[in-house]
């Protein structure tokens, strides 16, 4: 088994800085699971199935108030951490039903990314902080219309090597030492978060952006070719 085969159950779903404490709700994906990503006022990361348990409206349409998330449709409120329903505005005197609960996944911040684990039993250790080496800057997130395994294969053919945990791919893109964190978002959709030793605003970063766009085109083209030949 290679490192590329031992894929971690932790998925890099978003940049940590893009999800602000007690503020916004960000849509995310991991292995086809649609997610609502948000933070309570103390900054604790939340990753919930993006459906309200009442009538399945997307949580990403709602709003965050301190330590709870309110659904946009009927305003039911759900507590950070547990996902338990804690308020029904139409029935303020009625205790919320105990069995109404958002589906909650494990979520942690590490190395500037928000990671989600979809496996409910005994989550393994979260990614280490040094998975992104010191001195790396975030470049961009590429969206590739292909599966994550094809992305990993394409990176390997370009000389990228997987780290011991099977989470990060290290190689050279443009002229920069680059780390690629590959997210299996949906069956035919992968995200590639790129971190590099190029500083923001420099020519090296510009070159990296150009190389990243070319990489995406090549990966999608490689994916198309065998299908067209079939």
Closer Cβ to ligand FES, 64 or 196, answer by number: 64
Closest CA to 92 of 75, 71, 67, 69: 75
Closer Cβ to ligand FES, 1 or 94, answer by number: 94
| CA separation, residue 103 to residues 52, 98, 179 (Å) | 9, 14, 32
148-157 and 203-229 helices cross at what angle (nearest 10)?
A: 110
**Least distance (Å) between residue 85 CB and ligand FES:** 9
**Least distance (Å) between residue 104 CB and ligand FES:** 16
Q: Which tokens belong to 81?
A: 């951490």
Closer Cβ to ligand FES, 7 or 57, answer by number: 57
Closer Cβ to ligand FES, 78 or 191, answer by number: 78
SS3 content of the chain, % helix, strand, coil (to 5): 20, 35, 45
Task: Please give the torsion angle defined by the CA atoms of residues 25, 67, 115 and 27, in that order, rounded to the nearest 10 degrees.
Answer: -10
Closer Cβ to ligand FES, 77 or 137, answer by number: 77
**Least distance (Å) between residue 30 CB and ligand FES:** 22
For binding to ligand FES (CB under 6 A), which residues are involved?
52, 54-55, 57, 71, 73-74, 76
- Grouping H, G, I as helix, E, B as strand and the rest as coil, residue 153 is helix
φ/ψ of 175, rounded to 5, equals: -120, 15
Closer Cβ to ligand FES, 54 or 209, answer by number: 54
**Least distance (Å) between residue 51 CB and ligand FES:** 9
**Least distance (Å) between residue 82 CB and ligand FES:** 17
Query: What phi-psi label fits residue 150: left (phi over 0), alpha (psi between -120 and 50 degrees) or beta?
Result: alpha
Alpha helix stretches (DSSP H) within 49-186: 148-157
**Least distance (Å) between residue 102 CB and ligand FES:** 10
């Amino acid at each position: 088994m290679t490192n590329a085969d031992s894929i971690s159950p932790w998925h890099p779903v978003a940049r940590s800085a893009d999800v602000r404490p007690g503020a916004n709700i960000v849509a995310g994906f991991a292995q086809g699971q649609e997610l609502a990503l948000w933070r309570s006022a103390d900054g604790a990361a939340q990753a919930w199935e993006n459906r309200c348990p009442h009538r399945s409206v997307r949580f990403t349409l709602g709003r965050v108030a301190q330590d709870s998330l309110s659904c946009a449709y009927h305003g039911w409120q759900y507590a950070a951490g547990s996902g338990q329903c804690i308020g029904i505005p139409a029935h303020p005197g009625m205790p919320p039903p105990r069995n109404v609960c958002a589906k909650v996944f494990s979520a942690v911040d590490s190395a500037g990314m928000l990671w989600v684990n979809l496996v409910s039993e005994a989550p393994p250790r979260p990614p280490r902080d040094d998975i992104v080496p010191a001195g790396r800057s975030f470049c961009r997130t590429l969206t590739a219309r292909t599966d994550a395994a094809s992305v990993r294969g394409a990176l390997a053919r370009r000389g990228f090597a997987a780290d011991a945990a099977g989470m990060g791919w290290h190689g050279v893109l443009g002229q920069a030492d680059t780390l690629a964190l590959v997210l299996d978002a949906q069956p035919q959709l992968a995200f590639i978060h790129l971190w590099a030793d190029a500083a923001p605003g420099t020519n090296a970063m510009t070159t990296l952006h150009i190389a990243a766009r070319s990489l995406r085109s090549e990966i999608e083209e490689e994916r198309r070719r065998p299908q067209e030949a079939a």
